[in-house]
Each structure stands twice: as structure tokens, then as C-alpha cells.
Structure 1
């Protein structure tokens, strides 16, 4: 029997998630109900911050270890899980964000993934992030240790979600009436993306002092949110300039596999396998550390003053 495929217009609303189970063939619905029930239990444990041992889960549910491994690594592959020894745990900044309704909906969706190929991991991850990730925008794979600022972090998350103005001190300067938009994790460091005096600015979260929360609200600007989410880092200057580089053939595949530079574009692939790559940057320090990382396999073609700056830095380094 040909398996039914759900049109994408039907599986966007989360409220319809439980309907997918009933659309499965009758002789398979019972087994998928059991899967969904087991996945819901696992999601509840993860949401509560428990570290899950696959062997213990297999014994608890009376299933094989392979079944539990499939649950964690395939059916729930859209979750941001990390390994702690031989246990699985949900990323710390996602903990406690799912409601009971959310958990059962995600469990129902995950339980029928093998029936409906359209319900792939990117789709489910997008749904998961849209439900969880209202205040955070993670641009990296490591997290700054904020254990001593947990309360401030949570209150700031609430201010972002409620669109409330904030006030704080930063590098001996007082800022008032700040509009907080996103907590951005860039290369392991948390920044606060804000609008101040009608300009988009980023502040290092750990350096915020005397943080206060206002009862007054602001109306978020859709274009500003788009800029924050599309930017490669925390450099929000609107006046960007182009940097053109030549990338050696020996490392070209890294730049072809994914963008390693801000607003990277591969302009041309030369006969020897090397690349001409362009990047749009708001500040020299946005790209110079990246270029230094790839020296001597990357050369600056233009602008000339940036190339001279790099040569000066390298020259001073050699002298030392």
C-alpha cells in the first residue's frame, strides 16, 4: 500500500499534530500510539533536565537498546541534545520551555516520521525553535558560563518576550530606554542585540551592570529583527564594505562546504582549484581574525588598506 503524504499546508499548525496519528493506516496506529507515548515520556524527562541513560530507558520501557537509540538519534534528532558521558541531556537554555501540550504534539509528530517523509528533521527543528527560541539566537556551538548571572539572564529573556524597555550601565556609561531584541550567542559569548537612539547595537551581556526592567513596552520592528537574524555576527553597522580574497586550492573545499566569512560569496573558481571569494563586513575586526586564521592559504586582494593592515600586524608578530 502506498503511504499517504501530508501536504505541507496541513502540518504547519501545531494544534493539528495529533490528527496525523489517526491518518496512519489502521493496522499500524496502535504501534505508533505506543511510540508517541514513549517519546512523550522521554521529552518530559529531557524538558525537566534529566540525564537519560539509553540502557536504563530500554529497561524502563521494556524495549531493546536499539529502539531507544533510534528514539534519541532518529525520531528526536531535531532536538538539541548533547552527550554527558554515556547519557543524553537537552541543551541548558532549552530546559523547561515546553508545555505539556507542546510535548505531546512533538511526540505525536515524531512518532509518525517514518510514515510521512515530509516530516523531516529540519521541519521539526524549525517548529521546535519557533516554539522555544523566542528570546535566543544562537550563532555558535559553545556557551559562555553565566551561572553567576542566571537570574539576570532569565529576567532579560522575559523582558525580550514581553517587549519591555530596560536600563543598564555599560563600560562606565548609563543607557536608558533600551529596546532589547535578542540574546545572541556568537562564538560562545552572549550579546544583547538592542535598539538605542534608533540605532541597532550589541552589548556584551556579561559586562552589563545595574540592569533594570521598565514597565513601559515598545513595538518591535520586523526589519530590525530580520537584520539581527540574518547578520553573521554581532556587527550591526549598516554601512558595509566588500573584501575580496583569494583562497588557496588546498583549503577551497572548506569555503565551498559552508560560509566561513560574513556574507560570503564565491565569485569565481579558478583552473587550479583556488577561489575568488568576496565578503561584506561592517568593521575590519569582523574579518581580520578569520583571515589570520587561514594565513598563508588566504590572500587579501582588496581593499588595499586592509591588506596593508594585515601585513603590519603579521610583521609586528614576526618581530616579537
Structure 2
């Protein structure tokens, strides 16, 4: 009997922790504090999977999005401060409704409709923000659970891919442009790289441990895409036409962006620090013809050659 009481007590304590964490997250979002998932993990001392579940499942009906700096926020125009209920009151109603939504298929729709009405009487945003589509991934799959365990306890992994097997030090599960990757050091060439999660056929956790020389977050600060090449660094300078200059003033297209000079005509000289051309290639192409690559010359020449080949298709 005592064991059952202890188990119930532990469940209550765990529930209290979850509720407290969710209320604090909602308060941060409503106050526009722009927390990142990493910051929430560190503040609450929980795993990335727990924060993912908080945002994507437990708080899924709240209009939460992620900006270009990976900061979480309510969509423009929304704040719980505009509702008649406090954060904990709104969360209480939401979680209560969530307990019954799985009883019947109709209940899920009714739950959604009720909660939507609670949010929308004082909120009618003139904005439509389309969230970036993410590749479907099962956070509770044996594969993800094993990867998370290896990352937490710093165990090396042997990973079987379609055409090869690699031994890797797993650092993080990361997402670039909606696709999920395992980010870690390939022990064959001692370089940090990304591996498609969906390409992993089999995996074995080794007893052998590894050490990390510096915080992974500091490494990820300089990673802009899945094309990241460990040990490489290059500076790309571009001239941006005045017509689109405000876009680069408004936000950094990449975290490493630096505005070196603003010319009298309103155009800008901008520098980006990347590890490979692919980090920025598609970004620059999106701004043609209002952007010009200044240096390095080799990249500029390759860029022009590729455009010339593309034009030949239509001439």
C-alpha cells in the first residue's frame, strides 16, 4: 500500500513540474521573451524531446511559431494578455479538455472547437503566418530514444546506412529546412557532419565513451545548413541592390551576416561567414538579379558559370 501511495505521490510531483513548466513557457511567449528550445532545455533541465513534446503536443493548440533565429513566439498579434483568462487558467481548461478528446473521434473536434473559441473572442489577427513544414518524425521511436540516450551518456554509435557503416560521436538531433539529421563527429575522418535520420537502417550503442572539447551550442552557432563542413571557413562578400536592402537590414539572412558598408545610393556591402558555398548558394540565388557576388572570385566565377548553363536550357 505504501508503494502505491509513493507512486501516486511521484506522479503528482511530476505533473506539477510539467504544469509549472508549461505555464512559465506560456508566460514567456505572452511577454514576447523569445526563448529558444535550447534555453528552455537548460532552464528546466529537461531533454530536447521533452521540450519538443511541450511545444508540439502539450501546447499544440496555441499559435506558436519559430522565427529565423530559432526563437519561439506567438504569431504576430496574439498574446494571452489579450484574453480574459490568465495563463494558468487557460492551461487548466486546455489540459482538462485534452483528457477527454481521445474518448471519441467526435470529442477531438469538439475539444478543438471549444479551445479555439476560448482563444479567438479577443483575437482576430490580420496576419497569416505559414509555419515551415517539418519532416514527420516519431520522437518516441526506439531509434530516437536510443540516439537520445547515447547523446545524454556520451556513448559512441555504430550506424548502418544503405551503402556503408560509420562510427560516430552523437552530439545533437538537428533540423535544417524541415529535415531531421543526427549531428556528430565521424570517427573515420574526425570531422563533424550531419547524417539523415531517415537513412539510418540500424544502430548500435557502444560502451566506449567520448568527450566534447567545447559546448555543442557554440559549434552550432556557425552551422547554417546540413552542408556544414567541419574545419572549413570562408568569407563571402556581396553587394545588395538598394531595392532589396531593407530585407537585409530588417534581419540577418544568416547569423554570420555583417553589413560592412552602406553606399550613398542605398545599396549595401555585406559579408557572410560560411563553411561551404552550399550554406548560402540558394539564398543568394533567391535574390537574383538584385545581388552581386564580390568575392571570393572562384565562387563568383562558379556562380556565373552555373547561371550561364541554366540560361542555355532556354536559348
Q: TM-score range by the shorter chain?
A: 0.5 to 0.7
Structure 1 stretches (4+) deviating beyond 6 angstroms? 110-113, 135-140
Contact 2:241/2:266, CA 8 A, preserved across alignment: yes
Which of the numbers 170, 180, 184 marks the counterpart of 1:190?
A: 180
Instruction: After TM superposition, give the deviation of residue 271 of structure 1 in Å.
Output: 1.4
1:100-111 equivalences under 5 Å are 100-106=15-21, 109=24
Q: Does 1:216 align with 2:208?
A: yes
Instruction: After TM superposition, give the deviation of residue 215 of structure 1 in Å.
Output: 3.3
Could you say which residue in structure 2 is the equivalent of 1:20? none
Residues 240 and 109 from structure 1, CA distance in 2 versus in 1: closer, same or farther, beyond 3 angstroms? closer
Structure 1: distance between partners of 2:20 and 2:248? 39
Structure 1: distance between partners of 2:22 and 2:303? 52
Residues 182 and 282 from structure 1, CA distance in 2 versus in 1: closer, same or farther, beyond 3 angstroms? same
Which of the numbers 212, 224, 243 marks the counterpart of 1:232?
A: 224
Give SS of 2:286's match: helix
1:114-125 equivalences under 5 Å are 121-122=33-34
Question: For 1:9-53, what per-residue CA distance to the aligned partner results, in whole angstroms no more than 9, with x for missing partners?
Answer: xxxxxxxxxxxxxxxxxxxxxxxxxxxxxxxxxxxxxxxxxxxxx
Instruction: After TM superposition, give the deviation of residue 256 of structure 1 in Å.
Output: 1.3
Give SS of 1:222's match: coil
Could you say which residue in structure 2 is the equivalent of 1:154? 145
Which of the numbers 268, 283, 288 marks the counterpart of 1:275?
A: 268
Q: Does 1:308 align with 2:223?
A: no
Structure 2: distance between partners of 1:203 and 1:124? 23
Instruction: After TM superposition, give the deviation of residue 120 of structure 1 in Å.
Output: 6.0
Could you say which residue in structure 2 is the equivalent of 1:27? none
Alignment TM-score, normalising by the size of structure 1: 0.59
1:1-320 equivalences under 5 Å are 99-106=14-21, 109=24, 121-122=33-34, 128-130=40-42, 131=44, 132-134=46-48, 141-147=132-138, 150-170=141-161, 172-176=163-167, 178-197=168-187, 198-234=190-226, 235-261=228-254, 263-320=256-313
Instruction: After TM superposition, give the deviation of residue 242 of structure 1 in Å.
Output: 1.0
Alignment TM-score, normalising by the size of structure 2: 0.60
Unaligned regions of 5+ residues in structure 1, if any? Answer: 1-97
Structure 1: distance between partners of 2:212 and 2:37? 24
Unaligned regions of 5+ residues in structure 2, if any? Answer: 1-12, 53-65, 71-131
